[in-house]
Amino acid sequence: MITTLEELEEIANKKQCENNECREELRVCIGSSCLSLGAKEIEKDLKKSVKDRGIEHRCRVKGVGCNGLCAAGVLVSHYDNESGEEVLYEKITEEDTDKLAKAVESQKPLEEHRSDMSRGFFAKQKKIVLENAGYIDPDDIEDYIAHGGYRALFTTLNDATPMEVISQIKQSGLRGRGGGGYPTGLKWETVAKVDAEKKYIVCNGDEGDPGAFMDRAIMEADPHRVIEGMALAGYACGAAKGYIYVRAEYPTAVEKLNKAIKQANRLGILGNKIADSGFDFELEVRLGGGAFVCGEATALVTSIEGNRGNPRQKPPHLSDHGLWGEPTVLNNVETFANIVPILNNGAQWYRGFGTEKSPGTKVFALTGHIENTGLVEVPMGMKLSELIYDIGGGVSEGRNLKAIQTGGPSGGCIPADMLDLEVDYDSLKKVGSMMGSGGVIVTDDSSNMVEVARFFMEFCKSESCGKCVPCRVGTTEMTDILDKFINKEATKEDFELLKEMCEVVKESSLCGLGQTAPNPVLSTIKYFEEEYIKGIKDD
């Protein structure tokens, strides 16, 4: 059990010394994408090869979270603790492990697998949320502490009042990373001001949005960062209990979080009287069951209570009437992961990244017809062209860019001629899309946009909880009408009806799922109307 900052530093120093005993490290990415390409076996083989060559005293092999460049997995980084030099190897298979160990032994890099780290993909990123991903061992709390972990929590508990924490977060301008972009500080303040005996902190790790895997990577690569952010939220708002709601489809994330909570409990970093301060905080993981609607705040809390995930009318907002009727703060995984760097470096530092109205960085999952699929973190306000070409490496297989889809089933498609757009909450909203949780799906000229719109509509139809009529019936009807366009059997009246239904469903649905369901249709009609017209049969 540790109770003081000094004891925390002691653990950090001890671990750093232990880390420095080995001058070099081979860090094998065991993020989900690399894992499915056999990263665990590679880690095992590398450990064996390093031992066989008798260099285990100078080179340690460890598994780390997602490095980001998933397209080139399995990734292994060779890091020199003394010089800080790093060589990244890509497309490593089980056949390459001994060659790699030999390269470490002979100090001659394995040129054919070496990745160019000066290219845009790496150079243009700014890692704040993901600063530990790819560096620390997510299974080891001491490694997190050695990299400065839990210092923010201990210093805050000792030196700062809850109101000071909230004021820092407010000044930083941090906005909810789940997609809505509501100011986090304001949300916390509302709950902090409510006088109640019990309050809750809830973390949304449900990430039901297809094409998005940012939160998964954060939970898997750096679970303690999320835990520390939640504990700080608990202190700021006066809550002693938190829940992390994670999809059951993410077994690795669940395992890492549970392990991390156990380790934190054992060290007394979670539990009663943390850092000898009188602040108690306990944390539990709750499994979701693969329902997209549970990403909606009121649906999520009712799911934690053990019910069907039906949303309800707001107000009352969660800040008054949340989990079990008590005031509740609900934030997304990435939002909580931003708290520690803000408190460590100050609000002004944070404001140095991003734009005036959307400070900081955003993690995006780049997927679809793009060369460098993977996970990237960039300052808010970056031009779309930089994100797609400089970082993403452009469209794959030499085809032409057609559209960029952001925001998942609630978002929209942005046409290729709007590449000068700056990516932040407000500008995306202005062009009919939205930030969403951060999935960026690139489509090339082989895609039919009506089919893309139908894909999302069918998704919303199947995910609609059925509670309110506009969403339940509307999404079904719209899917049927879109089918007519795909089969080239639509009439002009169908087109008018489709547009009208979009408006009705948007205006009259109960929750965010229904209210945003028409967005993919509306944005494709706006920018790719000719494709709809092609689906209208001749009279």
Partner 1 sequence: MSAPTDARYKMVERTMKKLGYKRSALIESLHTAQETFGYLDKPALKFIAKRLRLPLAKVYGVATFYHYFRLKPKGEHNVVVCMGTACYIKGAKEILHRLEKRYGIGAGETTEDGKLSLLTARCVGSCSLAPIAICDNKPKGKLTVEDAVENIEKALS
Q: What are phi and psi of 415, to 5 degrees?
A: -70, 160
Q: Of 292, 336, 425, 485, which one interacts with partner 1 (CB under 8 A)?
A: 292
Check: CB of residue 24 under 8 Å from CB of residue 18. Answer: no
Beta strands in 289-348 (DSSP E): 328-332
Instruction: Show the binding pattern over residues 508-537: x = contacts partner 1 (CB under 8 A), - = does not.
Output: ------------------------------
Q: Which of 178, 322, 374, 436 binds partner 1 (CB under 8 A)?
A: 374
Q: Contact between 32 and partner 1 (CB under 8 A)? A: yes
Could you tell me the smallest distance in angstroms from the CB atom of residue 33 to partner 1? 5
Q: Which of 138, 149, 179, 208 binds partner 1 (CB under 8 A)?
A: 208
Q: Which is nearer to partner 1, 25 or 209 (CB)?
A: 209
Residue with tokens 């201990």: 154
Cβ-based nearer residue to partner 1, 427 or 447: 447
Rounded alpha-carbon distances, angstroms, from residue 275 to 14, 238, 489: 19, 16, 68
Residue 303 touches partner 1, criterion: CB under 8 A: yes
Check residue 207 for interaction with partner 1 (CB under 8 A). Answer: yes
Encoded one letter per residue, x for contact with partner 1 by CB under 8 A and - for no contact, window 105-134 reads ------------------------------
Q: Which of 144, 154, 235, 250 binds partner 1 (CB under 8 A)?
A: 250
Looking at beta carbons only, is 236 or 434 nearer to partner 1?
434
Count of residues making up the chain: 539
For partner 1, the closer of residues 172 and 443 by Cβ is 443
Contacting residue, 179, 211, 392, 432, with partner 1 by CB under 8 A: 211
Other CB atoms within 10 Å distance of the CB of residue 466: 11
Alpha-carbon distance of 468 to 507, in angstroms, equals: 12
Listed as own residue / partner, the contacts of 190-194 with beta carbons closer than 8 Å and 24 or more positions apart are 190/317, 190/319, 191/237, 191/238, 191/239, 191/319, 191/327, 191/328, 191/329, 192/162, 192/163, 192/166, 192/236, 192/237, 192/238, 194/319, 194/320, 194/327
Task: Give yes or no for residue 209 binding partner 1 (CB under 8 A).
Answer: yes
Asked whether position 393 contacts partner 1 by CB under 8 A, the answer is no
Q: How far is the CB of 358 from partner 1 (least distance, A)?
A: 24
Burial (CB < 10 A; 0-12, 13-18, 19+), residue 136, is buried
Is residue 212 close enough to count as binding partner 1 by CB under 8 A? Answer: yes
- Rounded to an integer, what is the distance from CA 143 to the centroid of its chain? 22
Concatenate the DSSP letters of all residues of 149-205 into one string.
TTHHHHHHHHH--HHHHHHHHHHHT-B-TTTT--BHHHHHHHHHHS--S--EEEEEE
Residue among 46, 71, 146, 267 that touches partner 1 (CB under 8 A) = 71
Only segment of 11-19, 202-210, 327-335, 355-363 that touches partner 1 (CB under 8 A) = 202-210
Q: List beta partners, residue 536.
A: 490
464 lines the binding site for partner 1 (CB under 8 A) = no
CB of 95 to partner 1, least distance (A): 18
Of 17, 289, 491, 529, the one binding partner 1 by CB under 8 A: 289
Segment 338 to 367, residues that bind partner 1, using CB under 8 A: 365, 367
DSSP state of 391: I
Give the range of 48-56, 69-77, 185-193, 223-231 binding partner 1 by CB under 8 A: 69-77
Q: Least distance in Å: CB of 291 to partner 1?
A: 5
In the bound state with partner 1, the residue whose beta carbon lies nearer, of 248 and 504, is 248
- 495 counts as binding partner 1 under rule CB under 8 A: no
Q: Is residue 305 at the binding interface for partner 1, with CB under 8 A as the rule?
A: yes
**Please, what is the minimum distance in Å from the beta carbon of residue 443 to partner 1?**
6
Total residues contacting partner 1 (rule CB under 8 A)? 50
Distance CA 366, CA 387 (A): 9
User: Which of 54, 84, 306, 398 is in the footprint of partner 1 by CB under 8 A?
Assistant: 306
At 79, phi and psi to the nearest 5? -115, 135
Query: At residue 147, what is the residue type?
Result: H
DSSP 25-84: EEEEE-SHHHHTTTHHHHHHHHHHHHHHTT-TTTEEEEEES--S-GGGPSPEEEEETTT-
Residue 347, CA distances (Å) to 167, 192, 351, 400 in order: 9, 20, 6, 41
Of 249, 371, 422, 477, the residue at the interface with partner 1 (CB under 8 A) is: 249
Give the range of 33-41, 42-50, 125-133, 425-433 binding partner 1 by CB under 8 A.
33-41
Q: Which residues bind partner 1 (CB under 8 A)?
A: 32-33, 35-37, 70-71, 73, 207-213, 216, 248-250, 286-292, 303-309, 365, 367-369, 373-374, 405, 408, 439, 441, 443, 447, 452, 455-456, 459, 465
